[in-house]
């Protein structure tokens, strides 16, 4: 460990201050988005909330979209954490059930964050246009998705998947299905009047039929039945 001279220590302090402010901006942004949605996160409002001038924000974030990226990354981390809580379930089908439920619960519990992550990506492509060379949103999503795909791989290995279906495709399919449930609920359309929990039940039953009721699927042994609503 190299010793620091007073010089280094001072710049080190500055760096920490910098990071602290950046974190603070992120924190406030996160809260605003959570309560009012990303659409109503304006640089002015944000600046006022952290008691700085709007211009100060641009010292820490290149643009408003840059903040969005950061928040999306947080969201993906959070979702991934929710998934990891179920990796200990041995049976892949049961695990997928639990994760599927967790996914929908996440979306309904944090609607605006979910929207930011999966429903407002309209701009999409040009993310790569930045010289900064990021746009790793895909990456975050992919690692999370792989938790799902892994379970399908296991199913496949146990010969419990129809031959022609690629595990990754299955994972994306299941994901898309669940996304549909969340998305419809979040748009506030009157139409799916069936409770989300029921829709999830139906979808998961379709993917992983309760062959004989004996074979445990949602068995209450390892899952308290928190009904999302």
Using CB under 8 A as the binding rule, the residues of this chain from 85 to 144 that contact a second copy are 88-91, 93-94, 118-125, 137-138, 141-142
Is residue 194 a contact residue for a second copy (CB under 8 A)?
yes
Query: Which residue lies nearer to DNA by CB, 38 or 175?
Result: 38
Q: Which does 42 bind (CB under 5 to 8 A by kind): a second copy, DNA, none?
A: DNA
SS3 216: coil
| Among DNA, a second copy, none, partner that 156 touches (CB below 5 to 8 angstroms by kind) | none
63 touches DNA by CB under 7 A: yes
Distance of closest approach, residue 179 Cβ to a second copy, in angstroms: 4
Report d(CA 169, CA 175) in Å as an integer: 10
CB count within 10 Å of CB 128 equals 12
What is the x/- site pattern for DNA, positions 41-60, by CB under 7 A?
xxxxx-----xxxxxx-xx-
Question: Which residues, 6 or more positions from 155, have their beta carbon under 8 angstroms from its beta carbon?
Answer: 92, 93, 161, 167
What is the Cα–Cα distance from 89 to 53, expressed in whole angstroms? Answer: 50
Q: How far is the CB of 122 from DNA (least distance, A)?
A: 15
CB 105 within 8 A of CB 199: no
Is residue 65 at the binding interface for DNA, with CB under 7 A as the rule? yes
**Shortest separation between residue 124's beta carbon and a second copy, angstroms:** 3
Binding residues among 155-174 for a second copy as defined by CB under 8 A? 155, 158-163, 165-166, 168-170, 172-173
What distances in angstroms separate CA 109 from CA 4, 16, 136, one per listed residue? Answer: 46, 33, 25
Nearest alpha carbon to residue 71 among 117, 103, 110, 39? 117
Q: Could you list the residues that contact DNA (CB under 7 A)?
A: 14, 17-18, 21, 40-45, 51-56, 58-59, 63-65
């Amino acid at each position: 460990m190299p010793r620091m001279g007073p010089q280094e220590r001072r710049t080190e302090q500055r760096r920490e201050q910098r990071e602290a402010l950046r974190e603070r901006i992120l924190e406030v942004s996160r809260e605003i988005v959570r309560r009012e949605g990303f659409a109503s996160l304006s640089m002015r409002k944000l600046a006022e909330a952290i008691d700085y001038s709007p211009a100060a924000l641009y010292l820490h974030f290149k643009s408003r979209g840059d903040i969005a990226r950061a928040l999306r990354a947080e969201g993906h981390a959070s979702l991934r954490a929710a998934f990891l809580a179920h990796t200990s379930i041995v049976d892949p089908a049961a695990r997928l059930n639990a994760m599927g439920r967790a996914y929908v619960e996440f979306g309904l519990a944090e609607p605006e964050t979910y929207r930011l992550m999966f429903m407002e990506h309209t701009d999409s492509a040009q993310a790569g246009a930045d010289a900064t060379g990021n746009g790793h949103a895909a990456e975050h999503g992919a690692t999370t998705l792989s938790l799902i795909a892994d379970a399908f791989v296991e199913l496949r290995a146990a010969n419990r998947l129809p031959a022609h279906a690629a595990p990754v495709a299955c994972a994306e399919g299941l994901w898309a299905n669940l996304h549909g449930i969340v998305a419809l609920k979040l748009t506030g359309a009157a139409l799916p009047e069936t409770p989300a929990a029921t829709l999830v039940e139906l979808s998961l039953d379709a993917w992983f039929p309760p062959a004989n009721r004996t074979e445990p699927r949602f068995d209450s042994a390892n899952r308290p039945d928190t009904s999302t609503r």
